[in-house]
């Protein structure tokens, strides 16, 4: 994204974080009850929830930096600067060339810091459809993953917050489906673009059949058009680090967090047992299993007497499993890695969203470009944020409103293929309505459209036996024709959205005249301009016990190992029809409860 980024030291860098260690020499011990690998979105939920029990000790090993003092992570509008490669806060990943996207390669942002991707993401708060979770329950044979059973975890995770400008938000969400006391703040945008927003709402009245108003897409039935919700509170990002690592948590004597510690692999794992036998939670005999990690070039092992939990994310967790010999036997052997368990699903079936941006020049000066193209306005907005956490910097880039839509019932695609969506009340498409364009001079709005029930699959595979080498990241962007053809059809709906009377005298001209393209030209254009959604999941998929594929059981234990779990986005067997942080949070909240139950 063509947005200016500033590197500024924050005013808050002096906050003391007593239990967050910068040096392995300061760690009180290398032996804990629970070792959590990765202090990201899910990892910090586990750190916080497991250490609520003062009788157990918890270590978190995080490869990256502290989030404290990183202004691009704090200020919502500066998030593109937090997502950029080439900083200590990034894993600097690049995808493999994506054949379905005209051979493009993509920088694949991943947060290399406390909070993981929630410290850099777009902050969109979207739970998905009821049917997404009911399908997870079906796939795992565990009703515990159904919407009704997971719903309390959404509430537990969330704290509805006033928007930064304190406007009355009662017509923008349904308060009865939101948490009031959880750690993560969620709010509607706190800086208005009224000329855009009023046209969006007018369009729901002009075309109520195509674009019905939906007060709250997070109530389980997302279809329709409404106000976007964000993990933002008091004008500031509410990451898992901000939300779960509060001072009262970091001072717990039982919780230790080590930064700059990159885990290579698991060591001393007991022999895998057949997946049908009952997992044992009896105390492990020495030598305790552990994780081998690198700190400033030296190798250490941290041991776990109860469990090891991989929370390295959809790239890191499968990589660590494969480094440890858990994966596709033949592929591991060909790299010279000794396989200990043949589990070909590790790294397979990655599912991801594809986004495509459509922009129009507009007859207003009130767009985000007003800041990007005017350093005086930009600096004034930053100063306002700094002073009062108000003004145009309080919101994320994604946009003011969002539409969740389906392919039309008479779509020829649905006659030719099985419907990949989880059900008729779940969307195929998301359209994010944005008060900015592609970085050209002038003023723009955009409709950024995603295929969010994709058929395409990618993979994470090892590039070498070096545990610290970047893995091969194949996102499978538009790898299956269905996804490209669905987007081609869906764009007609986006064009209809802005064709109504509400938009006359506002829209000047499209940046690219998509309406003039033939379907074949449009599909080719989409492939050449598509982008990934940074929503990869599925690389350590949970499936039913005894399933022919999958990596973890419904209790998130790696099949065959009683003391090893994966708890992060990688266990979601299919990408939800939503951005993935809310789903990751509920996986982590339920995962923490499953661990507590196992050891109670
Ligand atoms: C640019 C971007 C924009 C996004 N926008 C949105 C959005 O608007 N809304 C939304 O809902 N979702 C969004 N997402 C997706 C969402 O943030 C992620 O799906 C989710 O946060 C993933 O959580 P996780 O716990 O699986 O992994 P992460 O949060 O990535 O956590 C993994 C942690 O493990 C650490 N780690 C990895 N490997 C190792 C190792 N070997 N040793 C030690 N530590 C390790 C990492 O440094 C990281 O801290 C976005 C993601 C990105 C990258
Ligand atoms: C990403 O690149 C920057 C700049 O070269 C570097 O400082 C940082 O350490 C890199 N990140 C990783 C995980 O290697
Ligand atoms: C789950 O399975 C049940 C019974 O097999 C079925 O009726 C239901 O439609 C399925 N739901 C989803 C979302 O797949
Ligand atoms: C808000 O959500 C509750 C609970 O799902 C529902 O009963 C109620 O009808 C919703 N209110 C509106 C105005 O949609
Ligand atoms: C955990 O806390 C207990 C008391 O609260 C203390 O005795 C023990 O040393 C702590 N363990 C670790 C590893 O911090
Ligand atoms: C990928 O997922 C499909 C189900 O969607 C399953 O049939 C297949 O076995 C999986 N492949 C691997 C390698 O896990
Ligand atoms: C935009 O700003 C320019 C320069 O200040 C001004 O001339 C023009 O009238 C403004 N346009 C609108 C639509 O407000
Ligand atoms: C924020 O304000 C303080 C003074 O209150 C100032 O020292 C600091 O430089 C400002 N930071 C930014 C980013 O404007």
> What is the distance between the alpha carbons of residues 136 and 367, in angstroms, rounded to a whole number?
40
Copy the structure tokens of residue 244.
Answer: 């779960």
> What is the distance between the alpha carbons of residues 304 and 33, in angstroms, rounded to a whole number?
5
For residue 555, the model assigns a pLDDT of: 98
CB 463 within 8 A of CB 387: no
Nearest to 440 by CA among 372, 525, 531: 372
Q: Where do the H-state alpha helices sit in 335-451? A: 369-372, 375-388, 412-416
- Asked whether residue 177 is marked as a ligand-binding residue, the answer is no
- CA 186, chain centre distance (Å): 15
11 lines ligand 8 (CB under 6 A): yes
For residue 273, the model assigns a pLDDT of: 80
CA-nearest residue, atom 4 of ligand 3: 138
- The 10s digit of each residue's pLDDT in 440-469 is 999 999 999 999 999 999 999 999 999 999
Nearest to 562 by CA among 537, 516, 594, 589: 594
72 lines ligand 1 (CB under 6 A): no
For residue 399, the model assigns a pLDDT of: 87
Nearest ligand to the CA atom of 58: 5
Q: How are beta strands 158-160 and 184-186 bridged, if at all?
A: parallel
pLDDT, mean over the chain: 95
**Residue list, ligand 3 pocket, CB within 6 Å:** 131, 134-135, 138, 422-423
CA-nearest residue, atom 1 of ligand 5: 254
CA-nearest residue, atom 14 of ligand 6: 345
Instruction: Tell me how crowded residue 43 is: count the other CB atoms within 10 A of its CB.
Output: 31
86 lines ligand 2 (CB under 6 A): yes
**Residue list, ligand 7 pocket, CB within 6 Å:** 363-365
CA-nearest residue, atom 2 of ligand 2: 86
6 lines ligand 8 (CB under 6 A): no
Share of the chain above pLDDT 70, in %: 95
For residue 279, the model assigns a pLDDT of: 52
Catalytic option among 67, 112, 389, 579: 579
For residue 398, the model assigns a pLDDT of: 79
Task: With a cut of 50, list the residues of the chain below it in pLDDT.
Answer: 1-17, 276, 284
Q: What is the CA radius of gyration of the chain?
A: 23
Cα angle vertex 126, ends 77, 2, to 5°? Answer: 30
DSSP character at residue 275: T
DSSP character at residue 278: P
In total, the chain counts a number of residues equal to 600
> What is the distance between the alpha carbons of residues 105 and 126, in angstroms, rounded to a whole number?
27
For residue 287, the model assigns a pLDDT of: 76
CA distances to 1, 191, 236, 433, 574 from 367, rounded to whole Å, are 16, 11, 20, 12, 36
For residue 285, the model assigns a pLDDT of: 56
- CA 543, chain centre distance (Å): 21
535 is catalytic: yes
Nearest ligand to the CA atom of 315: 1
Dist. CA 389 → ligand 8 center (Å): 12
Nearest ligand to the CA atom of 175: 4
β-strand partners of 237: 232
CB 573 within 8 A of CB 542: yes
β-strand partners of 451: 354, 429
For residue 509, the model assigns a pLDDT of: 98
CA distances to 146, 503, 545 from 49, rounded to whole Å, are 22, 49, 26
DSSP character at residue 309: E
- The 10s digit of each residue's pLDDT in 468-517 is 999 999 999 999 999 999 999 999 999 999 999 999 999 999 999 999 99
DSSP character at residue 367: S
CA torsion sign for 266, 271, 277, 278 is negative
353 is catalytic: no
Pocket-testing residue among 27, 31, 57, ligand 5, by greatest number of atoms within 8 A of Cβ: 57
Per-state percent for the chain, helix, strand, coil, to nearest 5 = 30, 20, 50
What stretches of 41-145 adopt beta strand conformation (E)? 58-61, 93-94, 107-108
Copy the structure tokens of residue 470.
Answer: 């970047």
């Amino acid at each position: 994204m063509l947005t200016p980024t500033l590197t500024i030291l924050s005013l808050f860098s002096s906050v003391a974080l007593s239990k967050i260690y910068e040096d392995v020499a300061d760690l009180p011990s290398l032996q804990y009850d629970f070792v959590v690998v990765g202090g990201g979105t899910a990892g910090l939920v586990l750190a916080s929830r497991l250490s609520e029990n003062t009788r157990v000790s918890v270590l978190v090993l995080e490869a990256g930096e502290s989030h404290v003092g990183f202004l691009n992570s704090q200020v919502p509008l500066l998030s593109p600067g937090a997502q950029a490669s080439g900083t200590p806060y990034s894993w600097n990943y690049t995808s493999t060339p994506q054949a379905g996207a005209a051979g493009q390669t993509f920088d694949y942002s991943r947060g290399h810091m406390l909070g993981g991707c929630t410290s850099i993401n777009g902050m969109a708060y979207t739970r998905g459809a009821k049917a997404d979770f009911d399908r997870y329950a079906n796939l795992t044979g565990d009703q515990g993953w159904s919407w009704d059973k997971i719903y309390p975890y959404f509430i537990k995770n969330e704290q509805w917050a006033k928007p930064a400008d304190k406007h009355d938000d009662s017509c923008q969400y349904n308060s009865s489906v939101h948490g009031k006391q959880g750690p993560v703040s969620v709010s509607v945008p706190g800086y208005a673009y009224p000329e855009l927003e009023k046209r969006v709402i007018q369009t729901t009245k002009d075309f109520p059949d195509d674009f019905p108003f939906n007060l709250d897409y997070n109530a389980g039935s997302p279809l329709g058009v409404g106000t976007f919700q964000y993990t933002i509170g008091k004008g500031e990002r509410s990451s898992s680090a901000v939300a779960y690592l509060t001072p009262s948590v970091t001072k717990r004597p039982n919780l230790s967090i080590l930064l700059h510690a990159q885990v290579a692999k698991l060591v001393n794992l007991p022999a895998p047992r057949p997946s049908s036998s009952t997992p044992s939670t009896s105390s492990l005999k020495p030598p305790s299993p552990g994780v081998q990690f690198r700190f400033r070039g030296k190798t250490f092992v941290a041991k776990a007497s109860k469990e090891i939990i991989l929370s390295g994310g959809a790239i890191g967790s499968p990589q660590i499993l494969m480094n440890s010999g858990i994966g596709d036997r033949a592929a591991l052997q060909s790299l010279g890695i000794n396989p200990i368990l043949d589990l070909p699903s590790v790294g397979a079936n990655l599912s991801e969203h594809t986004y495509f941006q459509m922009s129009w020049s507009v007859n207003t000066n009130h767009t985000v470009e007003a800041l990007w193209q005017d350093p005086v306005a930009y600096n004034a907005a930053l100063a306002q944020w700094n002073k009062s956490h108000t003004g145009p910097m309080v919101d994320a880039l994604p946009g003011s409103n969002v539409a969740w839509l389906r392919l039309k019932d008479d779509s020829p695609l649905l006659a030719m293929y099985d419907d990949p969506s989880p059900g008729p009340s779940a969307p195929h498409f998301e359209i994010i309505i944005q008060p900015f364009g592609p970085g050209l001079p002038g003023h723009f709005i955009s409709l950024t459209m995603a295929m969010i029930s994709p058929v395409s699959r990618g993979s994470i595979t090892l590039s070498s036996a070096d545990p610290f080498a970047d893995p091969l990241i194949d996102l499978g962007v538009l790898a299956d024709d269905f996804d490209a053809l669905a987007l081609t059809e869906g764009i007609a709906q986006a064009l209809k959205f802005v064709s109504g009377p509400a938009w006359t005298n506002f829209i000047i001209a499209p940046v690219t005249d998509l309406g003039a393209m033939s379907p074949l030209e449009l599909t080719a254009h989409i492939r050449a301009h598509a982008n990934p959604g940074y929503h990869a999941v599925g690389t350590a998929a949970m499936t039913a016990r005894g399933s022919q594929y999958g990596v973890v059981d419904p209790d998130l234990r790696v099949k065959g190992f009683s003391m090893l779990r994966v708890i992060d986005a990688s266990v979601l067997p299919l990408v939800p029809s939503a951005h993935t942080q809310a789903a990751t949070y509920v996986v982590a909240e339920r995962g923490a409860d499953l661990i507590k139950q196992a050891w109670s």
